[in-house]
Structure 1
Amino acid sequence: MADVSVVSFDSRHCTLRVIDQPESWSLGDTLGNSMRSVGAIAGVNGGYFHPDFTPLGLMIANGQPQGQLTRSSLVSGMLRVRQGEPALVWNSESSSTSGASDLLQAGPRLVDRGQPVAGLNATKTAARTFLATDGKHRWLVGVVRNTTLGGLAKMLATPDLIAGMRVERALNLDGGRSTAFYARTSDGREISQPGWSTVRNYVAVVPR
């Protein structure tokens, strides 16, 4: 059975930020410290990175680009934030980074037009991290432990998985040992599930 940790938010009230974490060997509460530094209410691990700890694909954090735009079956989409409005963009649609304050290439795509993307692996089980949106203002940020890519895609495409929300698009982020989840409740209590390995970046949900 899959273990799910997820936060839902409205992009009219919150947005997404890419948080760079350039230290390849970090000690202490790196996840919590990164989230607290930007006043995040939730966050997860971000995109893939090379053995030398440089981003795999393009990353823009605080308006500063790192890495380079990549097109592959693995890195097949991106989170792009313009003027505070997040969007999931597929490689086949646009490679424009103009005006992006935050951007993170990742993949593979999980859900498109409300349907699970075909051809995803349905046998390899691992912890997974994802972003999902209804294409309007509703978003999901979360991790699922013990699932396949195909299984995660089918789960996210399930009607009314979250009451009143139909997932239009979903994108996989770096998972496995990198899987990490953070949330802060309205009374200030923190829920922190740090990953087992140091990651290059995080995706944070922050108030607008």
Structure 2
Amino acid sequence: MNLIGHENRKKFIEKYDITPISHQKILDGQQKDGVGGLLTDHYYCFSYKLKGVETGTFNCGYSIAEDLLKLTNQEKLPIFNPFKVTNIKNNKNKQEDKNSDNKKQYDDLALQLTNAINLIIFCYNSAISGTLAKIKNETDKYYYNRPFDYKIKSVNTIIGNLFNQKLTDEVYNVTKNREIKNYDFTLLTEVIEKHELINNFE
């Protein structure tokens, strides 16, 4: 996949339909691979399909993402930054923190699910699966509705397959001593316990 250069991106979207899934802040010292090279600051995750056929996902840097969003007339996503911002030194950091706050009035369970998926993307070094991207996209699209139980169960299973521990433990291991925001997964836990499954969220 070659997305370096505006013309290559135009050719790409002529062939594929794309959807922005997540806009992520990268931990200092953390590195992720993107289609345009190594990602070290913040990046986008997109899903793509061959004009109607489900295909996969990819990560890319902000400049590539911005061009793709313009070419497809799609809105930018707020950045997901799990870290607490303290001692802000410049306006850029203030703006990033401001943009990380999603102003939509989410259903409580939908908010917990989209936050959990964002944290999975944050922790996972490769591009996420198409199933997880689809659930994330649908949760954000219908943010005012309670997600179906099967979606929570599916994400719970994906966490178990990706990591050897609970999501909260994986986040702790990745962030080490960095202070992160508080994320509540109690409603997700209730759904998992209702179906008598092993809880991989917390």
**What is the TM-score when the length of structure 2 is the normalising length?**
0.26
More strand by share: 1
More helix by share: 2
Q: Which has the higher contact order (CA 8 A, sep 6+)?
A: 1
